[in-house]
Amino acid sequence: MLTVEKIGGTSMSQFKDVLNNVIIGKRSHTELYNRIFVVSAYNNVTNWLLEHKKTGEPGVYVNFLENADYSISLDSLCQRLLQINEGFRDIGLDLSEAKEFITYRIEQAKTMLYSLSKVLASGYVNTEDICLAAREILASIGEAHSAWNSVNILNNNGITAQFIDLCGFNDSFPLTIDERIHKAFKNIDFSKKLCIATGYTKGTEGIMRAFDRGYTEVTFSKIAVEVKANEAIIHKEYHLSSADPNIVGVNKVVPVGQTNFIVADQLADIGMEAIHPKASKPLELADINIRIKNTFEPEHPGTLISKNYVSQTPKIEIVSGTNKVLAIEIHDPMMVGEVGFDLRIMQIFAKFGVSYILKSTNANSITMVVWDNYKSRELISDLESNFYQITTERVAIVCVMGTNIAFPGFLYKASKALYENGINVESFGQSLRQVNMQFVIRREHYEKAVIALNDALCLQ
C-alpha cells in the first residue's frame, strides 16, 4: 500500500514527535517504506520569507518589493534557520552538513534576486511577473530547508531516505509542475526508499500564481495522483473535529471520523480548510481518499474523506465558521421582477475578483456575505456608484455541516440553540443538497454560537 503523506509546519517544528509517532511508530523496518512525505516549512519560516499570513508583518519578500536591503534580511533569516537546526541535534541532524546546505541555498537565492532586481530596474519587463518570480524563489527556501533536514535525520537514524528537491534551484529546465513531479519520481523503488519531497514545486506556470500559500497541499495532491497512491494522508497537530477546540474546549469536541469531499468543500469555502479545494479536486477525481490524522495521536485512525460517503444515520458532523466576513445588502426598488438584475451585481464582483460565501434574496434586496478585506472595500465603493442603496455590516457566519442532514428537526434544533443563547439570525442560507446550514449572526456572538451549536447538535 503506497501512501503520500503531508506534514504541516507546526508538526515539522516538533520533528522528534513526527519521527517517533508518524515515521517510525510501531512499524518494523520493512513497514517504514512505501511512503512519500511532502513537508511544509517549519512553523513561521514562510511568514519570515514572505509576510505574516495573519498579521501582514513584512518578510524578506516585502523588502525586495520596496527595494530595501533584502540581502541583510536573508542573512538574518539564515541565522534563524540555523537556530532551528540546533533543536534537532539530539535526534540526529548533522549540524555542519545542515549549515552547509541552507547557507548555500540562501546564497543561490541572493544571486537570483539580484538578477531579478536588475531586470526589474531596466523597465523592459512586466513588474508583476518579476515580483512573482521573486516570491516563488523565496517561498521555496523554507520547504527545501525542512525536507533536507528530515532526510539527513532519517539517514542518520538508519532509515534509507531520499531528498526529492522539487524547487528547481539547480536546473533551468522549462518544466510544468506536473512534468517536474513526473521526472522526480520516475524509476524510484518506493519499497526501498522513504522519499521526502519539498512542498514547493517549481513550474513554468508558477505554483504561487494559482495557489499562493496553499502550494504545499497542491504539491501533495499532484504527487499522490502521479504515483497512484492508495491513500493521501495529512498529519496535523489536531484532529478534524466537530468544532474548534480552542473555542469550545478540548473535552467538548469529537473527531469527525468520516465525511466526504462535499463537506470538505464547505469547510474550504469559509476558510477552515481540511485541504485546499484546488488540491482536493484531483484526488477526488482520481478516487484517492484523504485521511486527516493527529500527529500526536498516531494510533487514532483520524478522519477519512471519501467521494461517496454518506452517514447512515442523520447527524451533524461539523460546526464551523468565521467572524471575519462582511454582509453587503444591495437594495433597489426597481429590482422586483427584473430579469438579470443580479447579473449586473456579479459583473462588479468579478471585476474585483471577489467571491461570495452566502447569497440571500427577497423582492428588492440581495444580501451577500464576503471576506472582510481590502478587495471588499474596493467592491463596495463601486457598488455604491451603481445601485440605489448599499448597506454593509461586519458580521460572522456559523455553519452546521454533515453528509446527511436532510432530516426534519435539524434546522429547528440549530435555531432553537441560537435563540436560547440570545443570538439573532441576521440572514440564512441552505441549498437543496442540504449539506450546510449557514447562519449570519452578529460578530460578537460568533464564539457563543459555535459553542451553542456544538453542544446542541454534535454532543447529543
pLDDT score at 407:
84
Asked which of 237, 268, 290 is the last residue of a domain, the reply is 237
Q: Which residue has the cell 432530516?
A: 407
381 Cβ contact partners less than 8 Å away, ≥ 6 residues apart: none
Of 27-36, 48-57, 439-448, minimum mean pLDDT range: 48-57
Nearest-10 crossing angle of helices 70-86, 127-156: 20
Confirm whether 301 is domain-assigned: no
Rounded Cα–Cα distance for residues 49 and 216 (Å):
15
> ∠ CA 190-186-170 to the nearest 5 degrees?
110
Are 232 and 322 found together in one domain?
A: no
Which has more pLDDT, 152 or 239? 152
Q: Are residues 130 and 24 in the same domain?
A: yes
Nearest to 224 by CA among 197, 262, 192, 263: 197
Least confident of 125-134, 254-263, 385-394, 412-421: 125-134
In sequence order, the β-bridge partners of residue 3 are 35, 231
pLDDT at 29: 85
Flag whether 187 is in a domain: yes
Q: Given a cut of 80, is residue 210 above it in pLDDT? A: no
Residue 224: HSE in the Cβ half-sphere, 13 Å Cα cutoff: 32
Q: Where residue 385 sits, what CATH number does that domain have?
A: 3.30.2130.10
Contact, 391 vs 332, CB < 8 A? no
3-state secondary structure 254-286: CECCEEEHHHHHHHHHCCCCCCCHHHHHHHHHC
Residue 169 and residue 44 share a domain: yes
- HEC string of the chain equals CCEEEEECHHHHCCHHHHHHHHHHCCCCCHHHCCEEEEECCCCCHHHHHCECCCCCCECHHHHHHCCCCHHHHHHHHHHHHHHHHHCCHHHCCCHHHHHHHHHHHHHHHHHHHHHHHHHHHHCCCCHHHHHHHHHHHHHHHHHHHHHHHHHHHHHHCCCCEEEECCCCCCCCCCCCHHHHHHHHHCCCCCCCCEEEEECCCCCCCCHHHHHHHHHHHHHHHHHHHHCCCCEEEEEECCCCECCCHHHHCHHHCCECCEEEHHHHHHHHHCCCCCCCHHHHHHHHHCCCEEEEEECCCCCCCCEEEECCCCCCCCECCEEEEEEEEEEEEEECCCCCCCCCHHHHHHHHHHHCCCCCCEEEECCCEEEEEEECCHHHHHHHHHHHHHCCEEEEEEEEEEEEECCECCCCCHHHHHHHHHHHCCCCCCEEECCCCCCEEEEEEEHHHHHHHHHHHHHHHHCC
| Nearest one of 193, 149, 153 to 19, comparing CA atoms | 153
**Contact at 8 Å (CB) between 232 and 280?**
no
- Which residue bears the cell 469531499? 261
The owner of cell 511512503 is 35
Query: pLDDT for 77-130, tens place per residue?
Result: 999 999 999 999 999 999 999 999 999 999 999 999 999 988 888 777 778 888
454 in any annotated domain: yes
- pLDDT tens by residue, 323-363: 999 999 999 988 888 888 889 999 999 999 899 999 999 99
Rounded Cα distance between 82 and 89, Å, is 11
Residues 86 and 208 in one domain: yes
Tell me what the mean pLDDT of segment 210-223 comes to. Answer: 88
Whether residues 231 and 322 share a domain: the answer is no
Domain containing 65 equals: 3-237
Q: What local confidence, expressed as pLDDT, does residue 273 receive?
A: 67
More confident residue, 188 or 275: 188
Q: What is the dihedral of CA 46, 350, 275, 182, to 10 degrees?
A: -80
pLDDT, tens only, 145-170: 999 999 999 999 999 999 999 999 98
Distance CA 427, CA 356 (A): 14
Distance CA 158, CA 449 (A): 51
Q: Which of 216, 237, 258 is the last residue of a domain?
A: 237
- Whether 313 maps to a domain, the answer reads no
Residues 439 and 341 in one domain: yes
Identify the domain boundary among 222, 237, 252.
237
Residue 460 has pLDDT above 70, yes or no: no
Nearest to 13 by CA among 87, 94, 115: 87
Domain at 70, CATH number: 3.40.1160.10
Q: Extract the C-alpha cell encoding 66.
A: 520596496
Residue 178 is assigned to a structural domain of this protein: yes
Question: 242 with 317: CB under 8 angstroms?
Answer: yes
- Residue 194 lies inside a defined structural domain of this protein: yes
% residues pLDDT > 70 (the chain): 99
Q: If you average pLDDT over every residue of the chain, what do you get? A: 92
**131 or 79, which is more confident?**
79
User: Is residue 10 located within the same domain as residue 149?
Assistant: yes
Q: Give every CB contact of residue 267 below 8 A, 6+ residues apart in sequence.
A: 273, 274, 318, 320, 401
Q: Does residue 64 sit in the same domain as residue 212?
A: yes
330 inside domain: yes
How many domains is the chain built from? 2
Residue 452 to residue 449: CA distance in whole angstroms: 5
In the chain, what percentage of residues exceed pLDDT 90?
73
Question: For residue 66, what pLDDT is reported?
Answer: 86
CA 264/CA 36 separation, integer angstroms: 23
pLDDT tens profile 49-64: 998 877 778 899 999 9
CA distance 231 to 234: 10
Q: What is the rounded radius of gyration, in angstroms, for the C-alpha atoms of the chain?
A: 24
Residue 435 lies in a domain: yes
For 7-21, the pLDDT digits (tens) are 999 999 999 999 999
Segment 272-316, tens digit of pLDDT: 767 778 888 999 999 999 999 999 998 999 999 999 999 999 999
**pLDDT for res 459:** 64
Q: Which residues are CB-contacts of 129 (< 8 A; sequence separation ≥ 6)?
A: none
pLDDT of residue 72: 93
